Structure 1
Amino acid sequence: MTSNDIRFDCRQRGDGGPLVIVPCIDGAPLTELIDGFEIAAGMQPAGDAYGGLIPGFFRFGPMQDHFLGRSTNAMGPKTPVLGCECGEWGCWPLMARITATADFVTWDAFEQPHRKARDYVAFGPFQFDRHQYDDALHTLNTAIGPDET
């Protein structure tokens, strides 16, 4: 399996709003990837449902821990990788199992907890080179600074 490339887009929401984090896989925002998957699978509702995570709205703990599956406030064994487009992650989250080893970080077993019947088996898995992943987390951490973690 070839490795995917990840980066974490970090930008302000609206005009001077809070920071929003959207993972980008192989250059595409995860919000677009999941929208395309859900629409193609005929899921309803689908399209423009997801948004990035807003650390300022919910204390996930340090983002480098969160995106390694060690979030201080995640619900259960999975980690929210996207939130709702409204800004509240719990409203419409995309959850994933994040498994980190010395060589790789894998995102798989995606789910939409408010729609348990949805089948995400064909979405992912995404496997990232651990060094590239850690570099992306370091870049994210530098971008958001200590106030947002």
Structure 2
Amino acid sequence: MRFDVRPWDGSPGAARELVPLVDGVSLVELVAGFERAAGFDVPGAYAGLVLEHSRFGELTGYLAGAPESSYRAGQGGIALLGCDCGEVGCWPLQARVVVDSAHVTWLGFAQPFRPRRDYSGFGPFVFRREQYERAAREAAGHGPDTGPPALARA
């Protein structure tokens, strides 16, 4: 598990895009394959989260699903991906984030603009908590052993 932070449009000085990688594969690619196989309309119209385009609050807390920092708080999840246009609210892929003493789990995936889509066959994705925390700190611009305190347990 890691989060790749790269220029949004590929040029130096561009906004930064955060793309989750699961076993080295982009979450964008994983969900696009799932949606194509399921026959969903508009499959894979996702991109990473463009960090300068949205207010996520403190990034490590957001990635842990902290309610006070969650995009679209109160909807039971966070956006892990946004639209390929760069606007997270246009076409988000949402999931619940559950943190326990040893693991962080992404589950309950949903596309809020297609509420009848069934993502029950997608995920859950379970990560070692220590690895997830390190990846979140690095994505937030902190070194692997610095930055905000560890994620809170659910």
Q: Same fold (TM over 0.5)?
A: yes
TM-score after normalising by structure 2: 0.86
Give the alignment's Cα RMSD to 1 decimal.
1.6
Match of 1:53? 49
Q: Which runs of 5+ in 1 are unaligned?
A: 1-5
- Separation (CA, whole Å) in 2 of partners of 1:52 and 1:140: 12
Match of 2:141? 142
Match of 1:132? 131
1:1-149 equivalence runs, <5 A:
6-14=1-9, 15=11, 16-47=13-44, 49-70=45-66, 72-75=69-72, 76-142=75-141
1:73–1:99 Cα change, 3 Å = closer
Paired residue type of 2:71:
A
Paired residue type of 1:138:
R
- Separation (CA, whole Å) in 1 of partners of 2:71 and 2:16: 19
Q: Which runs of 5+ in 2 are unaligned?
A: 148-154
Q: Which has the higher contact order (CA 8 A, sep 6+)?
A: 1
1:100–1:32 Cα change, 3 Å = same
Q: Which of the pair is proportionally richer in helix?
A: 1
Paired residue type of 2:4:
D
1:59–1:73 contact (8 Å) kept in structure 2? no
Paired residue type of 1:65:
G
Aligned residues: 139
